[in-house]
Structure 1
């Protein structure tokens, strides 16, 4: 249960409004810090730093930070639009979770709120001369924070929405999802390889109440419900699959139809949404990365170099399936989940690109180079999937490429 809570908190922290609210609250607390620390300020020191030293700084912060925040939001939206229109619309999902952008915008807005509240409270004579000293010190910290944020923002703007930044972010997400699947196959649950043989006849179905994509599975919560009722849960829908209202998500054994609260918890542990998530869906991450290559291979762009680079990135991600893993018993013994197969990942990565490469022999060569490397993998499933895909892609290339140099495809 703890891992599900931590995962949910991590996902919430990637939302921009969370950091904005947090910084805003901290800025208000900073203003309220002045009366608390004022009694510790020496009288003679308070007389040397008065309101005249603080007023101009607060005025500059209040007048500039709102404009900077608005301008930065415009830049962020422009970068997202660029990535969506030029690379792939699905890239916006990962760019929206850019923590650097979130932190910078939150700092700018927090500085504006802090300076505005300080100006208002000073105008109402809430602060005495000792309070002003504390406020002056806090203001210097805020100014330093703004300067650091400006530097981070300038460096970050060099690549926001660019091809390299977008492809690298998607590759990192795909690598994380694949590595997670390799470290804990089936999310640490029992593998559901043969539903007809593994699922008992007397089970009760858990049906989807809304249509959409299965975003992720909180496996610890499923285990908790199954343990509470001394039952078993067989999830038949893989993460990322589209379901209609009334479709079966899972079958449960030991939980009766009258247990409405248990069924509500089970549905909550398998959230459904309008857009697929990268969290537990390596195939979606690979597909999104591959879409950049498909856009580059379109007749209007005709950029085979980008497609070759994406092929190398896809091969690097899939190579993570070859990492040695320690055989261990499933951590969650009351939940069965369908696993992610190497064949499905290889197909999602290379087949669309191979079909769209047309007569670009260098792209076919890049695809086959990576597939041949994966064929040598120690993971037998990965090696077989790569060899099978390489055979398909080689036949496809021989059919699509006119006057081909056969040496490229050997």
Structure 2
């Protein structure tokens, strides 16, 4: 299926696809129509040369299938929701909405509901009168739907169990974050330079128009870049976001400022800024790192005490920092086809991303050998590989890690925590000690 190109249409499509009503409604309608069509076909042209099943036996079979599928659907739904609840509690509440994007549950429930309704409708249409034709085609279709339901059940269990593995979750967040970095930040040095020049120019101007949020505070979820750039180009203007994507905008807070010579349509400007009740990863690079950090600090809490999970999250954080270091981390800017910057929006800087990625993990995990070692390995690797312009925040983080380790460990135990190790278990020290070979 093709997804609409504009942001608002795509979000509407995604909500429709993740809705618990859309697919079940389609499957239910198809099941009912198929039931009526096959019942009429069996009545008009009975099949007698495949296998012989009496109408009474077929009715009993269909009735048992209908009642069994209804109970089975309720059981599967309860089990899956319980698994998801316990699984996401191990990660972060921020991941619940993101994990819902998997449509396996919707499609599985749709198959169960379709099987139930088909069997129920077919049962009502079977005639048990003497000489009534056997509903052979309906039985074959019911068998096929039952097999489909079994297949979807197995797929649902497999996807649910695999989808809640820490390694799988953090890997998917990593992959999604890379796409967000590609969209949000300028793709070339020339784009970044034009963005800086435009920002300097509009900073000395007074906006001709300011757009405010509604009466209820909301979070900026994403932007319709195409619509905003088109509006700005039509009015020969520059539109500047007053808040960053992911920020909570208070009631009647400012959203956009327009710089130019004439006002732009306020309603269309307002519609191009998509507000929601929580942050999403769509246009928010910091939120991807935020989710990984949440997984790590959740694992480091005394109630969970799982530093290995935190290390898995740190692995992906390092990947994202390396990927972000190659971007032009200036203010976000979108030019039109002629190269004129028409839209500007605040974006996290390199310092912002480094502090977000490491500060809280260091605070909660510096007193654990595994975390202290892994963080030091991350910082040593980045300092050794990245260009000089990216190093000051990393060196500061290394100094802060030294201070945190010094505060957390007695001097006699501090040496073990100062060893860089990508797994955090001291392998680097043993490999470097010939006596341990």
Shift of residue 156, structure 1, vs aligned partner: 3.6
Task: Check conservation: 1:213, 1:272, Cα contact below 8 A.
Answer: yes
Tell me: CA distance 1:362–1:115, structure 2 relative to 1, closer, same or farther (3 Å): same
Look up the match of 1:307. Answer: 310
The reply to whether residue 181 of structure 1 matches residue 181 of structure 2 is yes
Look up the match of 1:172. Answer: 172
Give the counterpart of 1:232 among 218, 238, 244.
Answer: 238
Task: Check conservation: 1:358, 1:401, Cα contact below 8 A.
Answer: no
Task: Check conservation: 1:235, 1:337, Cα contact below 8 A.
Answer: yes
The reply to whether residue 359 of structure 1 matches residue 381 of structure 2 is no
Measure the CA separation in 1 of the matches of 2:336 and 2:380. Answer: 35
The reply to whether residue 61 of structure 1 matches residue 65 of structure 2 is yes
Task: Check conservation: 1:23, 1:110, Cα contact below 8 A.
Answer: yes
Give the counterpart of 2:30 among 20, 26, 29.
Answer: 26
Task: Check conservation: 2:366, 2:408, Cα contact below 8 A.
Answer: yes
Structure 2: runs of 5 or more not aligned: 422-437
The reply to whether residue 248 of structure 1 matches residue 251 of structure 2 is no
Measure the CA separation in 2 of the matches of 1:312 and 1:87. Answer: 16
SS in 2 for 1:317: helix
Task: Check conservation: 1:296, 1:307, Cα contact below 8 A.
Answer: yes
Shift of residue 142, structure 1, vs aligned partner: 0.9
Look up the match of 2:96. Answer: 92
Look up the match of 2:225. Answer: 219
Give the counterpart of 1:374 among 344, 365, 382.
Answer: 382
Structure 1: runs of 5 or more not aligned: none
Larger radius of gyration: 2
Task: Check conservation: 2:235, 2:262, Cα contact below 8 A.
Answer: no
Look up the match of 2:120. Answer: 116
Measure the CA separation in 2 of the matches of 1:52 and 1:373. Answer: 74
Look up the match of 2:152. Answer: 149
TM-score relative to the length of structure 1: 0.82
Task: Check conservation: 1:208, 1:247, Cα contact below 8 A.
Answer: yes
Give the counterpart of 1:339 among 336, 341, 347.
Answer: 347
Task: Check conservation: 2:18, 2:103, Cα contact below 8 A.
Answer: yes
Per-residue deviation, residues 117-151 of structure 1 (Å, max 9, x unmatched): 222344699xx959x44433332321221121122
Measure the CA separation in 2 of the matches of 1:221 and 1:214. Answer: 16
Per-residue deviation, residues 217-269 of structure 1 (Å, max 9, x unmatched): 12122233334545432223211111101211111245866x6xx32222222
Tell me: CA distance 1:187–1:121, structure 2 relative to 1, closer, same or farther (3 Å): farther
Look up the match of 1:408. Answer: 419
SS in 2 for 1:302: coil
Tell me: CA distance 1:254–1:159, structure 2 relative to 1, closer, same or farther (3 Å): same
Look up the match of 1:274. Answer: 277
SS in 2 for 1:291: helix
Shift of residue 335, structure 1, vs aligned partner: 2.0
Measure the CA separation in 2 of the matches of 1:54 and 1:197. Answer: 79
Shift of residue 89, structure 1, vs aligned partner: 2.4
Shift of residue 14, structure 1, vs aligned partner: 2.6
Look up the match of 1:204. Answer: 209
Stretches of 4+ aligned residues off by more than 6 angstroms: 35-40, 187-191
Give the counterpart of 2:298 among 295, 298, 301.
Answer: 295
Shift of residue 37, structure 1, vs aligned partner: 6.3
Measure the CA separation in 2 of the matches of 1:245 and 1:324. Answer: 34
Task: Check conservation: 1:84, 1:92, Cα contact below 8 A.
Answer: yes
**How many pairs align?**
399
Measure the CA separation in 2 of the matches of 1:35 and 1:384. Answer: 75
Measure the CA separation in 2 of the matches of 1:33 and 1:318. Answer: 58
Which residues of 2 match residues 36-51 of structure 1 at below 5 A?
45=49, 51=55
Look up the match of 1:318. Answer: 321
Give the counterpart of 1:395 among 373, 383, 403.
Answer: 403
Bigger mean CA offset, 330-339 vs 285-294: 330-339
Measure the CA separation in 1 of the matches of 2:323 and 2:270. Answer: 32
Measure the CA separation in 1 of the matches of 2:320 and 2:158. Answer: 27
Task: Check conservation: 1:296, 1:302, Cα contact below 8 A.
Answer: yes
Measure the CA separation in 2 of the matches of 1:17 and 1:321. Answer: 39
Tell me: CA distance 1:245–1:196, structure 2 relative to 1, closer, same or farther (3 Å): farther
Measure the CA separation in 1 of the matches of 2:387 and 2:35. Answer: 59
Tell me: CA distance 1:179–1:113, structure 2 relative to 1, closer, same or farther (3 Å): same
Give me the CA root mean square deviation.
Answer: 3.7
TM-score relative to the length of structure 2: 0.77
Tell me: CA distance 1:60–1:39, structure 2 relative to 1, closer, same or farther (3 Å): closer
Task: Check conservation: 1:233, 1:336, Cα contact below 8 A.
Answer: yes
Shift of residue 374, structure 1, vs aligned partner: 2.7
